[in-house]
C-alpha cells in the first residue's frame, strides 16, 4: 500500500461497491469491504466475483492483499475513517427510493468524531440533511457526512472509475470532504470547480477557453499529473466541490437528463418512420453540434437497467412530494414504456397475427457487457409476445442464468444460431458483438421466415438484406 493513501471502507458489495473498492485499491488504498450477505462475503474471500463486469475480476485479484471482506461493520470502523456507502436503494411501490439499507448503516454506526459516511448510493435530494439530523438525534453529531455520487456505467464501470468525467464531492466543508478529494486526487485534472460553477484553472494549461467555459474532460486529461498514470488512473476528471444537496441533485439530474435524451431521440425515430427520414443520420447531424453532443442519441427499444428507470421515477416522485409536477419526466417514462412495446407492432405489420409464430430475441441483458436483466426490454417483449400467442426463443452470452430465472416462458439457446432456428422473425434486443456480427446467410438458412427487426440499429442492414432477409430498424425511414 502507498503509505500516503487513506485506508477506507466500502459498505455494500454490489457493482458500485465492488468497483469502488477495486478502483481505490488500484490507486493504492487498503479497503475494508463490508456486506451483510455472509455467503457473498465468503465467495469474495475465495476470490469469486458475484457479478459480471469487465476488468473487475482481474482488478480484485491483482489487489487481493489490499482488499478485506467482512460482515462486521465494526471491522470497517476500526480500520477506516471514511465509510463509503454503496448499498442498494431500489424503488418502492410508490416510486420513491427505498432507503432502508442506508438507514440500517446509519443506525449501526457508533458515535465518533473521527468517522464520515460517504454516500455513493443514489439517494433522493435531502437525504444527507435527514441523515445528519438523525445523527444529531442519536447523539452522534460528531460524525461527518459527504455526498459523493457515482456515475459508473455497467459494462464499463472499471474504466469509468479510473477515467471519470467529473468527481462530485458535496460536504459541509470539514475534514471529510477534503479527505475524499485527496483520495480521488490521482484521477483529477488540476482544475476544480467552485460552488457557483466557475472554473478554477490551477495552471495555465488547464485554463479556460475564451468565453470562460470549462475545457472538456478529454482536453483536461492531457494535463493529468504523471503520478495519476503511475497509479493506474489517468482520468483527468473535473472536481465539483459543492454542498450536499447540490451533489445529490447532480446525480439525479444527470441520469434524468440522459434518459430524456434517449426518449427524445426515440420519439424523433418514431417521427422519422412516418416521414421517411433515417434517425441514424439525424442523430449524426445533431450530435455534431457541440451543445448537443453525439452520445446517448442512439434510438432503440428503450432504456433499461437498475438506474435510469428507477432514478427518473424517483426524481419525479421527489418533485411530486414537494408539490411540483415534473411533467417532462412523466413523458420520458411513458415514451420509454411505449418504445419497448413498439417492436410488437412492427412484427404484426410483417407477420399479421403472432399466434403460433416463433420469435427469436438476440440479447437479453439490458445492454451489452453485463448480466444485469433489471428493467431489460427483453422482459417486456417476451411477456407481450407470449401473451399474443407466440413462442419465444432467446440467446444471451452472459445473462443466461438471470434469464432462466426471470423469463420462464422463453426457450434459452446456447448460441444465436440455435435461437433463430425455425424462427419467423428475429429481434436484436441487445447489441452484443456475438449477435451483431452474425453470418446473415447462415441465419437466413436457419430461419423459417425472413423478418429481422434491429431493435438497436446496430446491424449491417446491407448484409442482412443481401442474405435475402427483410430488415427493419428503429426510425430508419
Nearer of residues 28 and 305 to ligand UGA, judged by Cβ:
305
Q: Who's near 420: CB < 8 A, 6+ residues apart? A: 360, 362, 393, 426, 443, 446, 447
Q: Does the protein bind ligand UGA through residue 279 (CB under 6 A)?
A: no
Cα(181)–Cα(166) distance, integer angstroms: 12
- Joined together, the cell numbers standing for residue 207 give 485554463
Nearer of residues 207 and 216 to ligand UGA, judged by Cβ:
216
Stretch in the footprint of ligand UGA (CB under 6 A) among 33-41, 178-186, 196-204, 254-262:
254-262
Question: For the chain, what is the total number of helices (H) and then of strands (E)?
Answer: 20, 16
The HSE-up count of residue 76 (CA atoms within 13 Å, CB side) is 28
Stretch in the footprint of ligand UGA (CB under 6 A) among 272-280, 301-309, 406-414, 460-468:
301-309
Nearer of residues 154 and 454 to ligand UGA, judged by Cβ:
154
Q: Does the protein bind ligand UGA through residue 5 (CB under 6 A)?
A: no
* Binding-site member from 76, 82, 102, 258 for ligand UGA (CB under 6 A): 258
Helix, strand, coil percent content, the chain, rounded in steps of 5: 45, 15, 40
* Binding-site member from 43, 103, 153, 185 for ligand UGA (CB under 6 A): 153
* Binding-site member from 145, 303, 440, 471 for ligand UGA (CB under 6 A): 303
Nearer of residues 105 and 262 to ligand UGA, judged by Cβ:
262
Nearest approach, Cβ of 121 to ligand UGA (angstroms)? 10
Q: Does the protein bind ligand UGA through residue 363 (CB under 6 A)?
A: no
**127-137 and 100-108 helices, crossing angle to 10°:** 30
Nearer of residues 319 and 351 to ligand UGA, judged by Cβ:
319
Nearer of residues 135 and 366 to ligand UGA, judged by Cβ:
366
Nearest approach, Cβ of 455 to ligand UGA (angstroms)? 10
Nearer of residues 150 and 171 to ligand UGA, judged by Cβ:
150
Q: How many residues belong to the site for ligand UGA (CB under 6 A)? A: 21
Binding-site string for ligand UGA from residue 305 to residue 324, where x marks contact by CB under 6 A and - marks none: x-xx--x-------------
* Binding-site member from 9, 33, 146, 262 for ligand UGA (CB under 6 A): 262
Where are any strands of DSSP class E within 282-433?
Answer: 358-362, 391-395, 410-412, 425-428
In the range 122-141, which residues lie near ligand UGA by CB under 6 A?
A: 122
Q: Who's near 138: CB < 8 A, 6+ residues apart? A: 107, 111
Q: Does the protein bind ligand UGA through residue 150 (CB under 6 A)?
A: yes
Count the Cβ atoms, other than its own, within 10 Å of residue 198: 12
Cα 327 to Cα 95, 266, 312: the distances in Å are: 16, 18, 12
* Binding-site member from 152, 169, 314, 381 for ligand UGA (CB under 6 A): 152
Helix (H) or strand (E) holding 183: helix 175-184
Cα(107)–Cα(110) distance, integer angstroms: 8
Do residues 253 and 218 lie in contact, with contact meaning Cβ atoms separated by under 8 Å? no
**Nearest residue to 107 (alpha-carbon basis) of 140, 75, 69:** 140
Helix (H) or strand (E) holding 9: strand 8-11
Is 33 among the residues known to form the active site? no
* Binding-site member from 124, 300, 363, 475 for ligand UGA (CB under 6 A): 300
Stretch in the footprint of ligand UGA (CB under 6 A) among 23-31, 79-87, 110-118, 300-308:
300-308
Please provide residue 167's backbone torsions phi and psi, each rounded to the nearest 5 degrees.
-120, 125
Which residues are designated catalytic?
A: 307
Residues that bind ligand UGA (CB under 6 A): 122, 150-154, 255, 258, 262, 296-298, 300, 303-305, 307-308, 311, 366-367
Amino acid at each position: 500500500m502507498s503509505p500516503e493513501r487513506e485506508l477506507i471502507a466500502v459498505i455494500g458489495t454490489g457493482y458500485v461497491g465492488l468497483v469502488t473498492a477495486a478502483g481505490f485499491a488500484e490507486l493504492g488504498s487498503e479497503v475494508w469491504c463490508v456486506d451483510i450477505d455472509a455467503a457473498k462475503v465468503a465467495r469474495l474471500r475465495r476470490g469469486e466475483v458475484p457479478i459480471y463486469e469487465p476488468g473487475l475480476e482481474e482488478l480484485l485479484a491483482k489487489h487481493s492483499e489490499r482488499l478485506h471482506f467482512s460482515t462486521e461493520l465494526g471491522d470497517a470502523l476500526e480500520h477506516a475513517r471514511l465509510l463509503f456507502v454503496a448499498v442498494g436503494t431500489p424503488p418502492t411501490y410508490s416510486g420513491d427510493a427505498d432507503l432502508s439499507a442506508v438507514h440500517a448503516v446509519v443506525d449501526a454506526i457508533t458515535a465518533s468524531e473521527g468517522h464520515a459516511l460517504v454516500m455513493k448510493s443514489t439517494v433522493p435530494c435531502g437525504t444527507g440533511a435527514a441523515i445528519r439530523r438523525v445523527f444529531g438525534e442519536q447523539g452522534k453529531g460528531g460524525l461527518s457526512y459527504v455526498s459523493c455520487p457515482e456515475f459508473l456505467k455497467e459494462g464499463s464501470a472499471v474504466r469509468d472509475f479510473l477515467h471519470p468525467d467529473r468527481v462530485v464531492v458535496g460536504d459541509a466543508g470539514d475534514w471529510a470532504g477534503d479527505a475524499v478529494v485527496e483520495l480521488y486526487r490521482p484521477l483529477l485534472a488540476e482544475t476544480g470547480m467552485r460552488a457557483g460553477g466557475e472554473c478554477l484553472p490551477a495552471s495555465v494549461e488547464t485554463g479556460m477557453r475564451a468565453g470562460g467555459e470549462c475545457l472538456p474532460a478529454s482536453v483536461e486529461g492531457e494535463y493529468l499529473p504523471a503520478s495519476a498514470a503511475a497509479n493506474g488512473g489517468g482520468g483527468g476528471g473535473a472536481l465539483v466541490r459543492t454542498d450536499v444537496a447540490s451533489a445529490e441533485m447532480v446525480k439525479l439530474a444527470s441520469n434524468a437528463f440522459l434518459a430524456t435524451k434517449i426518449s427524445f431521440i426515440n420519439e424523433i425515430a418514431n417521427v422519422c418512420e412516418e416521414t421517411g427520414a433515417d434517425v441514424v443520420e439525424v442523430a449524426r447531424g445533431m450530435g455534431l453540434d457541440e451543445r448537443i453532443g453525439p452520445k446517448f442519441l442512439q434510438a432503440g427499444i428503450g432504456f433499461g437497467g437498475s438506474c435510469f428507470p428507477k432514478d427518473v421515477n424517483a426524481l419525479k416522485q421527489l418533485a411530486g412530494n414537494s408539490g411540483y409536477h415534473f411533467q417532462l419526466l412523466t413523458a420520458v417514462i411513458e415514451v420509454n414504456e411505449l418504445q419497448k412495446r413498439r417492436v410488437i407492432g412492427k412484427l404484426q405489420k410483417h407477420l399479421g397475427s403472432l399466434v403460433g409464430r416463433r420469435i427469436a430475441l438476440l440479447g437479453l441483458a439490458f445492454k451489452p457487457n453485463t448480466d444485469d436483466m433489471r428493467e431489460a426490454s427483453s422482459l417486456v417483449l417476451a411477456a407481450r409476445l407470449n401473451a399474443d400467442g407466440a413462442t419465444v426463443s432467446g440467446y444471451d452470452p452472459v445473462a443466461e442464468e438471470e434469464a432462466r430465472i426471470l423469463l420462464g416462458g422463453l426457450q434459452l439457446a446456447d448460441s444465436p444460431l440455435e435461437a433463430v432456428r425455425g424462427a419467423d422473425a428475429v429481434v436484436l434486443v441487445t447489441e452484443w458483438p456475438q449477435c451483431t456480427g452474425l453470418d446473415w446467410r447462415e441465419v437466413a438458412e436457419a430461419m423459417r421466415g425472413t423478418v429481422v427487426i434491429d431493435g438497436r440499429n446496430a446491424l449491417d442492414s446491407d448484409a442482412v438484406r443481401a442474405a435475402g432477409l427483410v430488415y427493419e430498424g428503429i426510425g430508419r425511414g
